[in-house]
Structure 1
Amino acid sequence: MSRARARARAGARETVAVVRAVVAVSHEKRLLFMAASLAYFAFISLVPLLLLVVIALSTVQNGQVAIDIATYAAGVISPRSSSVLLEVVTGASDRESATFVGVVILLWGTLLLFRALDDAFGQVYGDDQESLLLGDLASALLVFGVVVGAIVAMIGVAAGLSLVLVDRVWNLLGPFVLLVVLTIVFLPMFYFFPDADISLVESLPGTVFTAAGWTILQVVFSFYTQTTGAAQLYGAAGAFLLLLAWLYIGGLVLLVGAVLNAVLADRVSADGEGLSIGYI
């Protein structure tokens, strides 16, 4: 019994030490400001992405089916703001010009998002070296794949399982399925993005933390927007503010996941002092 208590106390002390180290490093690396840039670049990529989805689906399906799917997608990404997003997406009169502009803005936003993530991971791991062009392109494609994969995961899980499961079962199983899918989606980013030579096991804690954080964020925002009339009360401004808040918190969770990996692997120090955690 005494050994169990001693182990519990030791585990509690180690957990507190990890949390304090993560908080200290996050404050030192100014994650709150980096998360704001991630939210902005993700935001400017979201509308053209939905626009291209609608146009692509319209070529193989009728227009109403494409709009219905995009409406459901926008609702999953930002509940209660789907009508505003879809008004922006479907309001384009010239589809060819809208497609060209959408591709340009999407590529531009993805490139900026990649640079912001690259700088963030570099600051977390203390690597300020310039990467090669081919490495930049590969990482940019990875960011694009992760962003699209995360969105498709949230939409696909919600749409697919809700069709075959009753609401009560879906409400219980949905978050767990989304957690697993997001873990698979985020794992390549946490494994390949750090310039340090890390192992797959080393990248898992931050990946699971980020996937769990995004899952909780999705559930909380869905509950909030369904039980309050904030988006309807403030109209388009309220909808966009909710979306920006969602993206900001999601970006912050992702960056904290990167810090968690670096702290657990003893790859970062706070205030010049080494952190001997020794988990991985």
Structure 2
Amino acid sequence: MTPKATTSLLTLAKKYAKLGFNRYRKLHVLGKLFIWLVILFYICMGITIIVLTPARISQFLYDKARALASTRFGWLIICIAIVCVSFPPLIGHTTLMFLCGFAYGLKGFWIGAVGSISGSAFAFLALRFLFSARLRAWSTQNQKWQALESVVRTKGLSLIILIRISPFPPWVYSNSLFASIEAVKLWQFVVATFFIMPKIFLHTFIGSRMAALSDGDQRGHMDTRTKALNAGLVVGGIIITIFTSWTVYNLVQGHIRNMTEFTPQVDELAAEAIEDYDEEAPLLSPTRV
């Protein structure tokens, strides 16, 4: 990674750390309590993993995943779960993509693909239908959003695809982002979503390799070289995911900030609208307009 990329990564990390801390300070006491309960949960989960050992836990998860895969409508259960986490503020899309590969192997890609396309389309339609009046009232008062809408309206499908494959905003917020932009049509959003299929395949592949290492029987029949190869594929897949996500994000931001069709001010406001979307979120903010 180049020094420039490292500096950019550190800057983004500091920005989101500061943003997270400021949000925490604004939370009600119950909200802060919930955050600490979540932290306590992860601490307890870490202790549990240490006590029970990763091998026993991974075997348990593998057995449950195989039981789900052998269920007649197990694939439908996962699809419904994917649809549900496509609606904000729920999260877990990437985890479910891993589960598709963990339970079904590479065949799980089709489950993840169908669930992702369906879930994102349902979320797009539902959010736009429920909040269309609120969106119009909000967007007329926000310069960043007006800039983003004008940029998307002018550039069309090509820019929509670029933003869609970018890792920021994440899956669930990306769905609400496009539902918030009136210039984006449903067919454009669905077409753009097809371009994240390579990412879904990669997540499914990582899940399938994790399953092979989690099952004691399969692991027992592997020699050291095969185990190392599977572990390397998992780690390599994760590294590829992180690297490509970061690269795409920088390309998208650079493209938006350097469009010659608009003034530099409009380009900057449009880029900031995407960066700060989860903070401002016109369809998710509790503030009424």
TM-score past 0.5 threshold: no
Q: Which has the higher contact order (CA 8 A, sep 6+)?
A: 1
Q: TM-score, normalised by structure 2?
A: 0.31
